[in-house]
Amino acid sequence: MEQFEDKPFEMRAYSKIELARLYAPFSVSDEATMRYLNRLIKYNKFLMDALRKVNYNVSRHAYLRREVELIVEHLGRP
């Protein structure tokens, strides 16, 4: 079985939990993982402004490719 860390990061659309797991592989639960990524995004004013400009929908269960690009641009590669 291939290790999770061995997979290269691919710039594409991700479900929110899928991307959160990449940024917080150390979390003990999916809820904690989502809270961690949501805090990273929410408290980065420049990232939130950029996401708003591309009509980011907080209720959607996935990040579109453009949103992922902005997240990576502001937070770095997971």
Mean pLDDT of 42-57: 97
Q: What angle do CA 62, 65, 3 make, to 5 degrees?
A: 75
- State phi, psi for 3 to the nearest 5 degrees: -70, 145
Grade residue 1 by pLDDT with cuts at 50, 70 and 90.
Answer: very low
For residue 18, which of 76, 52, 68, 69 has the smallest C-alpha distance?
68
> How many CB atoms are closer than 10 A to CB 49?
11
How do the domains of the chain map onto residue ranges? 11-54+61-75
pLDDT at 72: 97
Nearest to 51 by CA among 29, 24, 19: 19
How sure is the predictor about 8, in pLDDT bands with cuts at 50, 70 and 90? confident
pLDDT of 59: 92
